[in-house]
């Protein structure tokens, strides 16, 4: 009999069958035969004649000047030495279209004590690197970062005790 075939030990797939009033087993949610292909309704003539819309052009953001790993390592080494000496307490990094700026502060609420600027467009003229004081004076300018930083990086002194 058909009711003997349905037990709780059978997998859930077998429980998708139902009993017809005559006692025959009828499948519910049966998969259609592969011989039946889906039919596609023809498009109305108005939709075919519609003009194609071109997508909006992709606008990329202009490239920004930034520090590479070697330059940032040099700047942070100097910063770390000055923090250890107790002279500097904070820094900021700004990236603009035409320049990248590393600013150092004695206190967070003050104006920057020094700004180390990288301006690649000045590389052939005056040098890409410059150190600017709090008053806005350019202390040193050049193409070699370590030479430009020498103006604010004091050599170690021997202390006799």
Q: Using alpha carbons only, what angle is made at residue 56 by residues 55 and 57, rounded to the nearest 5 degrees? A: 115
118, HSE (Cβ side, Cα atoms, 13 Å): 20
Q: What are the tens digits of pLDDT across the range 49-66?
A: 556 777 777 777 777 888
* Within-domain flag for 97: yes
Q: How many domains does the chain have?
A: 1
pLDDT (0 to 100) of residue 157: 73
Q: Using alpha carbons only, what angle is made at residue 51 by residues 49 and 57, rounded to the nearest 5 degrees? A: 160
Determine the structural domain holding residue 78 and report its residue range. Answer: 69-149
**pTM reported for the whole predicted model:** 0.59
* Within-domain flag for 27: no
Contacts with 80 (C-beta within 8 Å, 6 or more apart), sequence order: none
* Within-domain flag for 77: yes
């Amino acid at each position: 009999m058909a009711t003997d075939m349905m037990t709780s030990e059978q997998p859930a797939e077998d429980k998708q069958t139902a009993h017809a009033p005559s006692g025959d087993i009828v499948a519910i949610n049966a998969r259609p035969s592969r011989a039946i292909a889906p039919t596609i309704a023809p498009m109305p003539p108005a939709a075919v004649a519609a003009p194609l819309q071109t997508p909006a052009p992709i606008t990329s953001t202009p490239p920004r000047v930034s520090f590479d790993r070697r330059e940032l390592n040099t700047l942070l080494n100097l910063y770390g030495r000055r923090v250890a000496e107790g002279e500097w307490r904070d820094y900021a990094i700004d990236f603009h279209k035409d320049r990248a700026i590393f600013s150092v502060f004695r206190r967070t609420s003050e104006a920057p004590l020094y700004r180390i600027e990288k301006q690649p467009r000045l590389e052939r003229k005056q040098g890409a690197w410059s150190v600017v004081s709090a008053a806005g004076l350019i202390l040193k300018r050049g193409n070699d970062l370590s030479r430009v930083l020498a103006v604010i990086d004091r050599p170690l002194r021997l202390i006799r005790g």
